[in-house]
Amino acid sequence: MRKPLIVANWKMHNTASEASSFVEELLGKIGEISSVEVAIAPPFTALESVSKILSKTDLVLAAQNMYWEPEGAFTGEISPVMLRELDCRFVILGHSERRQYFGDGDGEVALKVGAALTEGLMPILCVGETLGEREQGKTFEIVERQVRSALDGGMPDSGGGLVIAYEPVWAIGTGKTATPEAAQEVHGFIRGLLENLLGEGLGDEVRILYGGSVKPDSVDSLMAMQDIDGALVGGASLDAESFARIIHFK
């Protein structure tokens, strides 16, 4: 049984103090959440303050990125060891904004996935095609390359130790959501690929999230799909009311 996972990706929003107030507000709105796992990925500077609040709740902490070395002369970088110490459970890797603006290619993503697994962090590996790639009929080819190359960096011991987020780049922050059927087609493809790469049992345990303009009015139909096991939510996670509604999808 795959427990649904809803992840808030705040990107570069909220200072440490804003983050604390927001999480307190959110907690006041969500109530009981035993049937779904919820993770918050604030900016690095807010990890500690959010971690302290989440430690008293069922919500868990995620980071938005990391470097692959445990320590060293890497100015400006954050290591998996540092994230673990703050009680991060997940780390988002290979987000399309990292690939597009910060030079994270398949090789870097593989190193990060390997390091996260070694240090006991669960990677949320983001994959997805651009609009041009979709129009050229390359969606499956791109997604397969991104999944295969990332797992060259390391394989999880259990299916539950890895999360994939399918995020069509054209749907991120644009208000355009893939239809549930179109998303399911890619999720089903990723499931088959994971069963091939990890074995049927493990591949079936991996949670595959959908990301790309998920909103309160689109979450229910997406979550009704067989291989959509949760959502990676950007914009709508910055509004406590909207995010609370997404967590309580029907």
Contacts of 165 (CB under 8 A, 6+ apart): 7, 92, 124, 125, 126, 127, 208, 209, 210, 211, 232
Considering only 109, 117, 169, 233, the residue that binds ligand PEP (CB under 6 A) is 233
Query: At residue 50, what are phi and psi to the nearest 5 degrees?
Result: -70, -40
Total site size for ligand PEP, rule CB under 6 A? 14
Q: Is 167 among the catalytic positions?
A: yes
Structure tokens at 144: 């397969």
Q: Kind and range of the H or E element at 8? A: strand 5-9
Yes or no: say if 66 and 115 are a contact pair by the CB < 8 Å rule.
Answer: yes
Catalytic-labelled residue, pool 37, 95, 97, 119: 95
Stretch that binds ligand PEP, among 37-45, 70-78, 184-192, 228-236 (CB under 6 A): 228-236
CB nearer to ligand PEP: pick between 42 and 234: 234
Stretch that binds ligand PEP, among 99-107, 144-152, 206-214, 240-248 (CB under 6 A): 206-214
Binding of residue 211 to ligand PEP (CB under 6 A)? yes
Yes or no: say if 168 and 177 are a contact pair by the CB < 8 Å rule.
Answer: no
Contacts of 120 (CB under 8 A, 6+ apart): 84
Binding of residue 230 to ligand PEP (CB under 6 A)? no
Stretch that binds ligand PEP, among 100-108, 146-154, 166-174, 193-201 (CB under 6 A): 166-174
Question: Nearest distance from residue 80's CB to ligand PEP, in Å?
Answer: 20
Query: Residue 233 forms beta bridges with which residues?
Result: 8
Binding of residue 66 to ligand PEP (CB under 6 A)? no
What is the 3-class SS of 122-174, one letter each residue?
EEEEEECCCHHHHHCCCHHHHHHHHHHHHHCCCCCCCHHHCEEEECCHHHCCC
**Length of the chain as a residue count:** 250
Binding of residue 212 to ligand PEP (CB under 6 A)? yes
- CB-closest chain residue to ligand PEP: 234
Query: Residue 209 forms beta bridges with which residues?
Result: 165
Binding of residue 9 to ligand PEP (CB under 6 A)? yes
Considering only 173, 179, 196, 224, the residue that binds ligand PEP (CB under 6 A) is 173
Binding of residue 213 to ligand PEP (CB under 6 A)? yes
CB nearer to ligand PEP: pick between 17 and 174: 174
Residue among 47, 22, 26 at smallest CA distance from 38: 26
Binding of residue 61 to ligand PEP (CB under 6 A)? no
Question: Nearest distance from residue 59's CB to ligand PEP, in Å?
Answer: 18
Binding of residue 104 to ligand PEP (CB under 6 A)? no
User: Which residues are annotated as catalytic?
Assistant: 95, 167
List interacting residues with ligand PEP (CB under 6 A).
9, 11, 167, 172-173, 211-214, 232-236
